[in-house]
A and B are shown apart, each in its own frame.
Chain A
Amino acid sequence: MKMSDSAIVATGIGKTFNGNTDNAVVALDGIDLTVEPGEFVSLIGPSGCGKSTMLRVFGDLISPTEGTVEVFGKSAAQARLDRDYGMAFQKAGLFDWRKVSANIELPLELAGWSKDRRSYRSAEMLSLVKLQEFADHYPWQLSGGMQQRVAIARALSFEPKLLLMDEPFGALDEMTREHMQVELLRIYEQLGTTVVFVTHSIPEAAFLSDRVVVLSPRPGRIHSIIDVDLGKRDENTRESAEFFAMTTEVREALRSVEAMS
């Protein structure tokens, strides 16, 4: 196999939980997926189809029972040790006892940055997510949307090469969610990272992605991959005919997944 320049090369990934027991679950089967540097790829599919499992396999939080994952030409385990991953989840998961700035600085602390460099960077990240005046607040003093922005700032603070996000906006109300999508795209374009984004929202996947990977359940397989090209996106994009066409295409793929199962 040639060493690739791709961000992720997943080959023949399978994951069975509780193998060799009565309650074995085949969460993933035969997943082949390549993600190029700078790409924004969404994973969508019915609940329980293996989206989170796939993301965790990419991030070396669980190991696949079959197949290999290569991240920037090395093993996923090595990529994790090299701190190539930034992660964000549905729950912001901020640490209660750390002020907002200290939450953002956590990855930098782990990477051994000096205090000066850390506070300089957390100030930068706070202005990126437009929360400058909240540096010294504790997480409970922030709304859900603001907490999620801090979690994203934390995930990006050390400029990871690959951002893995598991339904990061799933708990937000619709308006906040749309606002956060625009913010995420702005930051993504500014930093030029690669993103794998799990969602169960059709418009979200269509709005954010370069490609939408549609998964079918039991066992989790790739049903289809939809290319999206909406150009530069803003709030008006949501009302455009192209956007409507994209959501329709994703919706029909999901319907045929439903019909299969």
Chain B
Amino acid sequence: MKSRLAPIWPPIVVGVLFMALWEGMVRLLDVKEFLLPKPSSIVQAVGDQWTPLRIAGWETGKTAVVGLLIGVIAGALLALVVSRFGWLRGSVTPLAVALNATPIIALAPIFNAWFGITDFRSNAAVVIVVVFFPVFINTGKGLSEVEPNQIELMRSLAASETTVLRMVRIPNALPFFLTSLRLAAPLSVIAAIVAEYFGGPQNRLGPFITQNASFSRYANAWAAIVVASAIGLALFAASALVEKLAMPWKRPESITA
């Protein structure tokens, strides 16, 4: 069978061209480092700051992954409970959709008050909440949006609601769930870093960025952003792989980023 993922070369070529253009423009127009450092300076900063960046990246990555896992599991489980008990669906789901439209990230300072300003849990809590809603809403959609004829078929075969959930709704929701996972994975890194801007332990990417920026060491701040992007991409790639492995029945071209 053909590879299920799009070829990897075109985006890399475009990326390299973009970097070259960036480097060229900054040199040509003599842009100040504090406005926009050259890619070469950022690469050098990654090298110079490797030890603190590695530690900060590891810690922020842990916050993102722990929050991602808890948020995803909680979102999927609650979606299951809500779909099993119809009377919850009409009340809980619209509420979740409304909450999902609010800037949840603004809760960060409040979690600092709850868990303590230097506690890693206040950051993880932001990640959990940010990840939870898209997973809950999408999984719930997949559990409820089953072809009516398929439900009728199951009923005509005297299947119980629990059997329908197990044999039809859950497999039907799997693509929805995995899509939400793929969206939530990079979101978890964003949420972790923004939460870290507001508080939490100091040896993280968020404080690394704010501190270096306040001392005008912009190349260092950008270096941290590069590390954060790498973590986000790694999580995205991992969830795309899970998506591919978990659904061998999928039509190849239907999995796209």
Contacts and interface: CB of A to CB of B under 8 A. Distances in A.
B4 interface: no
Interface stretch (B72-80, B151-159, B185-193): B151-159
B214 interface: no
Contacts of A99: 249
A61 interface: yes
A120 interface: no
A245 B153 CA distance: 36
A87 B249 contact: no
Contact of A85 (B150, B156, B159): B156
Interface in A95-149: 95-99, 106-107, 109-111, 138, 140
- Bin chain A's interface residue count: 20 to 34
Interface string B229-252: 000000000000000000101110
B152 A96 contact: no
A95 B150 contact: yes
Contacts of B154: 110
Given A93-B147, A93-B150, A97-B174, A110 B156 contact: no
A97 B249 contact: yes
A87 B157 CA distance: 9
Contact of B157 (A83, A89, A93, A95): A83
Contacts of B153: 87, 89, 93
Given A87-B152, A89-B149, A91-B147, A110 B171 contact: no
A59 B149 contact: no
A175 interface: no
A78 B239 CA distance: 46
B157 A138 contact: no
B163 interface: yes
B152 A89 contact: yes
Contact of A107 (B147, B157, B250): B157
A251 interface: no
A98 B250 CA distance: 11
Interface in B51-97: none
Contacts of B250: 96
B156 A61 contact: yes
B168 to A, nearest CB: 7
Contacts of A86: 156
Interface string A60-87: 1100000000000000000011110111
Interface residues of B, number: 20
Contacts, number: 54
A88 to B, nearest CB: 9
Interface in B127-163: 147, 149-150, 152-159, 163
Contact of B159 (A61, A87, A110): A110
Contacts of A111: 157
A59 B149 CA distance: 13
Interface string B162-196: 01000110010010000000000000000000000
A95 B149 contact: no
Contacts of B152: 56, 61, 87, 89
B219 to A, nearest CB: 49
Given A93-B153, A97-B174, A110 B163 contact: yes
B19 to A, nearest CB: 40
Contacts of A89: 149, 152-153
Contacts of B171: 95-97
Nearest to A140: B251
Contacts of B159: 110
B148 to A, nearest CB: 9
B247 A97 contact: yes
A95 B149 CA distance: 11
A109 B251 CA distance: 25
Interface of A: 56, 59-61, 80-83, 85-87, 89, 91, 93, 95-99, 106-107, 109-111, 138, 140, 164
Interface of B: 147, 149-150, 152-159, 163, 167-168, 171, 174, 247, 249-251
19 contacts: A59-B156, A61-B155, A61-B156, A80-B155, A81-B158, A82-B158, A86-B156, A87-B156, A89-B152, A89-B153, A93-B150, A96-B171, A97-B174, A109-B167, A110-B154, A110-B159, A110-B163, A140-B249, A164-B156
Listed from nearest, the 4 A-B pairs whose CB atoms lie closest are: A89-B149, A93-B149, A97-B171, A140-B251
